[in-house]
Amino acid sequence: MDLSKEFRCCLEDLDIPTMRRLWKFVQPNLPQPTSDRETLVAIHIARTQASSIKERLRFYSHRWLLDEGYPSMLPDKLKPRAEREYPQIVEGVGIAVRGLSPLSQSVAPIIRRAMEDVVLDAYAGTSSVNPVKLKKHMMDARSCAYKKFLG
């Protein structure tokens, strides 16, 4: 059995169960991964380091590691190409409150703050938010703040 070929196949296919069995067989005296997640992280780290792995797979692992909060071991000279292949996705929320009348101008900061609070609360507990639901909650907060202001 060609172990290097088996390891390379596991890295390419992200084959967690086989990787765990191989690691246990090859290095039984070393600490073993305790979970599938730990194994997956180790596979992605190994993929970024292995020059025998296709670049697009290394680039994907680089992005995955960064998105999950782990350091990437991709060589510095490959990082710009990896960033072009798999760019970082950044979410943003725009809040615009405009009023032409003096009454609207005085209530605009209150409405904006109510909408900001909804956005900040939504992102406080998680890194991904459903934009459709967020917009609905923002519009509800806007209506509520406007009604409170007018009485």
Residue-wise pLDDT for 18-50, tens only, equals 999 999 999 999 999 999 999 999 999 999 999
Residue-wise pLDDT for 46-102, tens only, equals 999 999 999 999 999 999 999 899 999 999 999 999 999 988 887 788 888 877 677
Closest CA to 150 of 107, 121, 88: 107
Q: Is 130 left (phi over 0), alpha (psi -120 to 50) or beta?
A: beta
